[in-house]
Amino acid sequence: MRIRSALAGFTIIEMMVAVALAAILLAIAVPSFKDASLGSQLRSASSELMVSASLARSEAIKRNAPVELCTSSDGKTCGTGGWQQGWIVLSGGTVIQSQPKAPPGFLITASGGKTTLSFQPTGVGATAATFTICRATPNVGSQERVVTIDAAGRASVERTTTGTCS
């Protein structure tokens, strides 16, 4: 009489159940991961815009000259188009900071379609604006960030979940 080895393997049924459970868990986890990744990218883009606005304000005060924050596709000159193509902080023809374009599929829009914000040397009298940062493609994300720059040039960020990126 033969004694069965204690190291017997899995049966095909047990293996199929394990694979099915793994597939179900993965199907539940992937959307949560995508939302976490989207939140991180939105947070990064909104922080970069806030930092640029703060830099423009502080440089205007430091240089005692107007400073502009404007859209730029080449990183050297102010241009037209959306803020997702990138932006620069500019003082008297000198580029102080250049920000590259946003991740693919992201949309950054300014209230009133503004492409240039001016910051005055007094620290007040800046161009007030509201920016919406969201993912437009391949599908609209459930989160967005709203960056508000007041007339004094101070920036703040608010997280919203309207999901109406357009």
pLDDT value at residue 111 = 87
CA pair distance 155, 109, nearest whole angstrom = 15
Phi, psi of 8 (to 5 degrees): -65, 145
Tell me, what's the pLDDT at 49? 92
6: in domain: no
User: Is residue 7 assigned to a domain?
Assistant: no
Does an H or E element contain 68, and which?
strand 67-71
Is 4's pLDDT higher than 60?
A: no
* Cα atoms in the Cβ-side hemisphere of radius 13 Å centred on 133: 29
The range of the structural domain enclosing residue 137 comes to: 12-160
Number of domains making up the chain: 1
The structure's pTM equals 0.76
Per the prediction, the chain carries an average pLDDT of 85
Classify residue 4: in a domain, yes or no: no
Residue 81: what pLDDT? 83
* Domain CATH for 117: 3.55.40.10
User: Is 21 inside any structural domain?
Assistant: yes
The confidence score (pLDDT) of residue 67 equals: 93
Domain assignment present for residue 165? The answer is no
What pLDDT, in 10s, does the model give residues 98-150?
A: 999 988 888 899 988 899 999 999 877 778 899 999 887 767 667 888 999 99
pLDDT band for 6, please (50, 70, 90 cuts).
low
95: in domain: yes
Q: Residue 72: inside a domain, yes or no?
A: yes
- Residue 1 inside a domain? The answer is no
